[in-house]
Structure 1
Amino acid sequence: MSGTDNKGQQPLPTIVVGCNDNNDKEEEEEDEDHHHSNGSIVDCCKSIHLPLLTDMYQITMAYAYWKSPEKRNQLAVFDMFFRKNPFGGEFTIFSGLDEVIKFLQGFRFTTDDIKYLRQILPDYVEDEFFQYLSQLSAKDIRLYAIREGSVVFPKVPLMRVEGPLPVAQLLETTLLTLVNFASLITTNAARYKIALDGRDIRLYEFGLRRAQGIDGGLSASKYAYMGGFDGTSNVLAGKMYGIPLKGTHAHSFVMSYSSLDELNTRYLLDKTTGQSVDFVSVCLKYQNELSQLLDVLQSEISSSELTAFIAYAISFPDQFLALVDTYDMIRSGLLNFSSVALALNQLGYRALGIRIDSGDLAYQSVMAYKAFKLIGQTYSIDWFGKLAIVASNDINEDTIISLKEQKHRINAFGIGTHLVTCQRQPALGCVYKLVEINSHPCIKISLDVQKVTVPGRKRLYRLYGKEGFALIDLMQNDSVDEPEPLPLTKVLCRHPFQESKRCYATPSKVEPLLEIWWQNGKIQKPMPTLDAIRNHVQQSLDALRPDIKRYLNPTPYKVSVTDNLYQFMHNLWLENAPVGELN
């Protein structure tokens, strides 16, 4: 999100990657003028100017269009859509619109960009073309899009881009870059949330160290939160987007201690009385008591681990959450944590819980829960049995479902690699296709029916059933005077490509999906905050039937066209399909 939409959000500091230290002052001023940081993930690398973050063929096509004067000002209409839902599911969450708007706001080629293009293009490319590029902006572009955070489906246009053909073409690669990964991560995060099956379990994104670079890590943090995660370990993402930060300590912190003699201080202030108390002695007292209560031998308890926990608790007495599996979670880590937690309680503080990062997560969580309940009952501490039990051991969707079947007692998951890299499916596959040129609809034909496009400008509606669930998405021809669907009025819905698949729908509610977001070089409506989009994701998912969202064999959601658009599309298909000959 840009500016100060969210609490705690700050402009992203410049991180120069692969730049020479002796950049001239004029170039730096240019960057400040045209690529000032406004919180966008793509501002990470000051050396990368967004108009050049594109494929080479976009530049060569732009020149070829420019060489034909009649092409320069032709009005083109492009649809962005995808052909298949990710992760074996039947829904996708549309994300990235906010970044797209920022890109359009700043779209222009700098003097340095033009200089570089002169170097890489052939000498015979005319000088007037570079002058043309230097004057380009997105002022003549119109952008229609579905609201960010909405559930979307294959073939449905997520965005419609209208404008001069060369400019609309130049936008293609960057728009796809900004939407593909964002939508994939948000969808992945939403699926983890659904896998919890409504249980009150927190989800934290811990994937920065596994992400594909700086921008990948920041994107993952932002869009995981959008998809329903409750926090991140990524401090920069917390600063930029106002996402709650979560984190404790690593195994290395525990391993760095060997004995109580290493502690710089043994004392902690009593929160109630303000008196300095020998905290180490209190911890040792409880350790001795708990070893008998939990039937653990003193020889099995790691003293170095206890030292590390005491050091951390003295540093963060109100935020004590310890990693308990460095040595032996059941015989040592759990007891040492509980000893320190009881000592904190005696001094007026309240521990948060434990994190488990290895081993049998279901079994260990059950053992921890039972121990906490027993300790809470023994010492008459009601909240002790509700301590957080966080698991963070290479968690994926299947793991969560399996742990649920094992009746685990985990109440928070820290998820990294499988979330931020989308290991199950690393790309969404959005495409950007020309559907109209100078008011003439275009159709892409293929032997693979899935790759045939739905031509022309289209209106898009979501029809809801009487129970409030989304029933079907309906595309309508925008170039003819076709009445829009109305509540409680029957409408014929047809499969775009299969003639026999058709049905009548009588919606209880009709929702237009495509809205104008950018026109005349300006944003056309207030951009929602990250938290508002996050809430919309959940509302949009709630409007889907459970069988569409389930993990195994989900029911496909229906996407259809009106009878008018069906007839128009298939007539155009026949007009453009070559007629074969038999000799």
Structure 2
Amino acid sequence: MTCYPGTLNQELIPRAEDYSLLTDLYQLTMAACYTGEGVEQQRASFELFVRKLPEDFGYLIAMGLAQALEYLEKFRFTSTHIEALRSTGIFAHAPKRFWSLLESGSFSGDVWAVPEGTAVFANQPLLRVEAPLWQAQLVETYLLNTLNYQTLIATRAARMRDVAGERANLLEFGTRRAFSPQGALWAARAALAAGFDATSNVLAALQLGEKPSGTMAHALVMALTATEGSEDQAFAAFQQYFPGATLLIDTYDTIAAAERLALKVNSGKMKLTGVRLDSGDLVTLSKKVRSLLPGVSIVASGDLDEQEILSLKNSGAEIDSYGVGTKLVTGKPVNGVYKLVEINGIPVMKESSGKMTYPGRKQIFRSSVAGKVKTDCLGLADESNLGGLPLLQLFMQAGKRMQPPENLATIRQRTAASVASLPEQTRYLENPISMQMELSEKLHKLTEETKKKPALVSG
């Protein structure tokens, strides 16, 4: 393995100062080519959208904009970055101006986006970048990374909140199953912003101004049972240091543990606020535990997802809180793409089979009746007579933020309102009917005109 000179972080833990290098190589080689051809400063517009929703998803909840804007604010290349790139030898024939561009460059473009927590559908831009071509190109990878993943988690979380109802507590337990430490932080944030009540991820909770939440693991019960004599002593020891803590009661015999706890609660020897069930027939067990401990909150966990939560509810399970991990932070990907739609004022489009894009800078116009979404119209950004509410807002202009960061409570409220505004059939967990989007007359005309423009072929 060749090691290139420089002092770049080798721990493979992303640092904010290195984010400009957190990109695919071809973004840099294309930027170098643009520079050599003298077009690097031409104004370009790229839009980030999803061509097709994941299977059995009727909508998406846009998320990740906050981290995208933070990234763009800090976007720059240091001398260490440039030295490391030079040392690869890949850019030996790149124009000298490419290096000076990186040395002096920072993001100076505009960003239009739908606010986080907004429901969106296929072929609707979540975000548009308008910037010098080299900048708009280089930021593609990071923007897709954060918006694709957080949008997936937010959508799953919103679906779970939708089926669990307002009264149930939803706890994010996915850190150990997330695809990376960074992914775990983003997953916790997206889940909280989309309706979850708490996360067990201590770093994420504290950074977000939230209180972390959790219970205990089977290891504690087994360790203290082995060393102190019984499961009851393990429970008592934990509650000595954490009074009122939720106890995990399925390490050995769930019902036997609940019966012993009930005796202590009923005799006044113990105050118990919650128990957790992590395995077995959750419907039967929860009903039995409720009969034994009627005033105690029951938390269920163990590979839960939105379908399983709905099934538990429909079966009459006595569950107050759901701890969700693996199936929240993993699953079917959101395949967002980032495509050029305009360069130097010229609308462009991709015409590949199955991957066609619409040309020009666009806006989503959403019409609602009695609080319910009626229609969405995709039009050009300069149209103003289409009716409905324009969803994309200006968040950054000339590299400067135009709106203050939003707190999680605001985004959570928007998510709840967005989901509630959707037709019932769009919210189905299986075979949902997604919203049909209309095209404005001007966008349709521009699409047909752009298709007719012949590709230039040199002889």
- TM-score bin (small chain): over 0.9
- C-alpha deviation, 1:398, in angstroms: 2.4
1:350 Cα offset (Å): 3.9
Number of residue pairs the alignment of both structures matches: 452
C-alpha change, 1:145 and 1:483, in structure 2 (3 Å) is closer
Describe the SS at the equivalent of 1:72. Answer: coil
How far did residue 393 of structure 1 move?
1.5
Question: How far apart, in 1, do the equivalents of 2:35 and 2:168 lie?
Answer: 56
Matched residue, 1:67: 36
2:21 is matched with which residue: 44, 52, 55?
52
Q: Which residue of 1 aligns with 2:239?
A: 313
Match status 1:338 vs 2:253:
no
1:210 deviation in Å?
1.3
Q: What secondary structure is seen at the aligned counterpart in 1 of 2:230?
A: helix
After TM superposition, the score normalised by the length of structure 1 is 0.74
Using the TM superposition, give the Cα deviation of residue 48 of structure 1 relative to its aligned residue in structure 2, in angstroms: 7.2
Measured after TM superposition, the shift of residue 476 of structure 1 is: 1.9
- The residue type equivalent to 2:235 in the other structure is F
1:484 is aligned to 2:385: yes
Give 5+ residue unaligned stretches, structure 1.
1-18, 29-42, 263-302, 373-384, 487-509
Say if 2:373 is the partner of 1:470.
Answer: yes
Q: Using a 3 Å threshold, how does the CA distance of structure 1 residues 177 and 339 change in structure 2: closer, same or farther?
A: same
Q: Deviations over 1:497-546 (max 9, x none)?
A: xxxxxxxxxxxxx2111111111221011221122111111111111122
**Deviation at residue 571 of structure 1 after TM alignment:** 2.4
Q: Which has the higher contact order (CA 8 A, sep 6+)?
A: 2
Give SS of 2:452's match.
helix
Question: 1:456 corresponds to which residue?
Answer: 360
The CA deviation string for residues 414-460 of structure 1, in whole angstroms up to 9 with x for no partner, is 111111112xx1x2011111111111100110222xx2111001232
Paired position in structure 1 for 2:395: 517
RMSD between superposed Cα atoms in Å:
2.4
Q: Does 1:435 align with 2:404?
A: no
Task: Give the Å deviation of 1:578.
Answer: 10
Decide which of 168, 182, 197 is 1:215's aligned counterpart: 182
Can you list the C-alpha shifts for 1:17-43, whole angstroms capped at 9, x where unaligned?
xx99xx97xx89xxxxxxxxxxxxxx9
Assess if the C-alpha contact under 8 Å between 1:305 and 1:336 holds in 2. Answer: no
Q: TM-score, normalised by structure 2?
A: 0.93
Question: Equivalent residue for 1:4?
Answer: none
Q: Which runs of 5+ in 2 are unaligned?
A: none
Q: How far apart are residue 84 of structure 1 and its match? A: 1.5
Distance in 1 (CA, whole Å) between partners of 2:151 and 2:62 is 5
The verdict on how the C-alpha distance between 1:47 and 1:469 changes in structure 2, with shifts beyond 3 A counting, is closer
In 2, the alpha carbon distance for the partners of 1:566 and 1:471 equals 21
Offset at 1:86?
2.4
Shift of 1:553: 2.4
Once residues 171 and 539 of structure 1 are traced to their aligned partners in structure 2, the CA distance between those partners, rounded to angstroms, is 31
Please give the residue correspondences for 1:86-97 in structure 2 after superposition, counting only pairs within 5 Å: 86-97=54-65
Q: Is the 8 A contact 2:307 2:429 kept in 1?
A: no
The SS at the match of 2:224 is coil
Give CA-to-partner distance per residue, 1:542-563, whole Å, 9 cap, x none: 1112221112322220211112
Query: 1:246 matched to which residue of 2?
Result: 213
2:247 is paired with a residue whose SS is strand
Which residue in the other structure is 1:284 paired with? none
Residues 109, 530 of structure 1: alpha-carbon distance in 2 compared, 3 angstrom cutoff: same
Measure the CA separation in 2 of the matches of 1:320 and 1:530: 26
Q: Distance in 1 between matches of 2:206 and 2:125?
A: 33
In structure 1, distance between residues paired with 2:398 and 2:446: 31
Q: Any residues of structure 2 matched to 1:199-214 within 5 Å, and which?
A: 200-214=167-181
Q: Distance in 2 between matches of 1:535 and 1:456?
A: 32
Whole-angstrom CA distance in 1 between matches of 2:58 and 2:318: 30
> Does the CA-based 8 Å contact 2:224-2:233 persist in structure 1?
yes
* Distance in 1 between residues matched to 2:238 and 2:444, nearest whole Å: 66
Where 1:256 maps in the other structure, the secondary structure is helix
CA contact (8 A) 1:325 1:357 kept: yes
% of aligned pairs identical?
36
Residues 434-492 of structure 1 show CA distances to partners (whole Å, capped at 9, x for unaligned) of 111111100110222xx211100123211112x3211111122235xx54224xxxxxx
Separation in 2, partners of 1:483, 1:131: 41
Partner Cα distance (2:16, 2:396) in 1? 27
Which residue type is aligned with residue 394 of structure 1? D
Q: Deviations over 1:159-181 (max 9, x none)?
A: 11111111111111111111100
1: distance between equivalents of 2:150 and 2:16? 22
The aligned counterpart of 1:147 is 115
Amino acid aligned to 2:290: Y
Question: What amino acid is aligned across from residue 455 of structure 1 in structure 2?
Answer: P
Q: How does 1:257-406 map to 2 (within 5 A)?
A: 257-258=224-225, 262=228, 304-317=230-243, 319-330=244-255, 332-342=256-266, 345=268, 350-372=271-293, 385-406=294-315
For 2:151, which of 183, 188, 197 is the aligned residue?
A: 183
Larger radius of gyration, structure 1 or 2?
A: 1
